[in-house]
Homo-oligomer: A and B are copies of this chain.
Amino acid sequence: MSCCDQPGLIPVEQALEKLLNAAQPITETETEMVAVGKALGRVLAADQQSTVDVPPADNSAMDGFAFNSVDCKESGQTTLPLSQRIPAGVAPQSLQPGTAARIFTGAEVPSGADTVIMQENCQWDSDQVILPAEPKAGDNVRPRGQDIQSGSIIMCRGHRIKPQDMGLLASVGIAEVPVYRRLKVAVLSTGDELVEPGSDLPPGHIYNSNRYTLAGLMEAQGFDYIDLGIVPDNFEATEQALRKAAALADCIVTSGGVSVGEEDHVKACVEKLGSLDLWRLAIKPGKPLAFGNVLGTPILGLPGNPAAVFVTCAIVARPFLLKTQGANDILPTPIQVIADFDRPKPAKRQEYLRAMLSLDENGVAHAQIAGNQSSGVLSTASVGNGFAVHSLNGTITAGEPVPFLLFSDVLY
């Protein structure tokens, strides 16, 4: 896994591939059962199979009248006596030949009937119904098993459960599902210049923002976030914090403190307790990224600048952590929008520009740069709604397509 000896910068895709190859998903024994109603964002630990057909029987898509299409005249209206009334939730009788049944949306279509006509197209009283000419056989009947057949796999192991998945699981009668326990991620910030918000700011200091950005990212992904706060810039405190993190967590994420600087103790500490590779990624903001282990627990060392932390966590750390969590849908979906700006110089590092989408009068999405793109500037990540990607070695021309990642697609 060593990359230190590579002369150039590592492209983001290559770094992601290395990280994902190294990721060790939580094993199948580390699962728990959760109620489907509480399963949002959790990762399925086993394929889910349906034991029923959905719908379980032919049912009506409308309020109207059920009948057999053979009883209808080929032309002109047909009058049929009403032989039963079938509200939703009631098991119907077989339909007597030559009759119709009053039926309601969601109700089971009786055997012997093959078609439903919506009531707006009929005339009826309590005894009989007049059906319009030439009804189409099969109309307004949702056939048994249309959505799901008994025995089929409806959701795979590794699926992250979204709201509609909760509905789908419930629709086949599944009340609880096995999921992997939440991934425990320990987060620590390094830097003697850091002060917690809410206190005064002495000269030479800045407020710690990375702790909060990372807390939000971990919570949004449903991880069990272990906040180890700010670690002082000295070897002993760093070692103590790393040992604690390794004992408590499945993964460790740090911000700041991983470079070749004399004041950086994380590198020396991790090398004492495990191993560390320093990568130089072709990513901007970002570049330095450390990956290794502390007493066997994987550690990701992110840069210290606020925007660099945001980008490297969303783009690089998130897929690694999601794979370790056991998820299989871990990469965002880049789309293309029209650039409203020029970047004529080929990018030496792939740049994730904080940007805003807006629609023009034709409904076409355009991306504007959200402002200052310095790695220290977080405000543009707050006003933007995604990353316009200036691809490695590529250029961006106004009016041409540019890849875009919506924040909603890289935060959750």
Contact = CB atoms under 8 A, between A and B. Distances in A.
A207 B171 contact: yes
Contacts of A204: 57, 88-92, 107-108
A310 B198 contact: no
Contact of A408 (B90, B147, B148, B406): B406
Nearest to A385: B333
Interface stretch (A2-10, A160-168, A345-353): A160-168
A46 interface: no
A342 interface: no
A248 interface: no
A412 B403 contact: no
Contacts of A233: 87-89
Given A204-B90, A233-B88, A372-B147, A365 B192 contact: no
Interface string A312-345: 0000000000000000000001111100000000
A172 interface: yes
Nearest to A156: B383
A392 B152 CA distance: 35
Q: A63, A163, A196 — which one has the most chain B CB atoms within 10 A of its CB?
A: A163
Given A213-B164, A377-B147, A385-B333, A207 B261 contact: no
A283 to B, nearest CB: 16
Contacts of A245: none
A391 to B, nearest CB: 8
A411 interface: yes
Given A204-B107, A259-B63, A372-B146, A213 B378 contact: no
Contact of A91 (B202, B217, B404): B202
Interface string A195-228: 0111101111111111111111101100000010
The complex is assembled from copies of this chain, and their number is: 2
A173 interface: yes
Contact of A175 (B198, B305, B306, B408): B198
B382 A168 contact: yes
B260 A335 contact: no
B146 A227 contact: no
A178 interface: no
A61 interface: yes
A179 interface: no
Interface in A367-386: 372, 374-379, 381-382, 385
18 contacts: A36-B212, A56-B206, A61-B305, A63-B263, A87-B263, A88-B193, A88-B204, A89-B204, A104-B262, A105-B304, A107-B193, A107-B204, A108-B203, A164-B407, A167-B212, A169-B197, A335-B365, A408-B412
Interface of A: 36-37, 40, 52, 54-57, 59, 61, 63, 87-92, 104-108, 142, 146-148, 154-155, 161-176, 191-194, 196-199, 201-217, 219-220, 227, 233, 256, 259-263, 304-306, 309-310, 333-337, 357, 359, 363-365, 372, 374-379, 381-382, 385, 401, 403-404, 406-409, 411-412
The list of the 4 closest CB pairs from A to B, nearest first, reads A163-B216, A175-B198, A167-B213, A89-B192
Given A87-B233, A164-B213, A406-B408, 11 more contacts: A106-B304, A147-B374, A147-B379, A163-B216, A163-B217, A165-B216, A166-B216, A168-B378, A170-B209, A172-B207, A175-B197
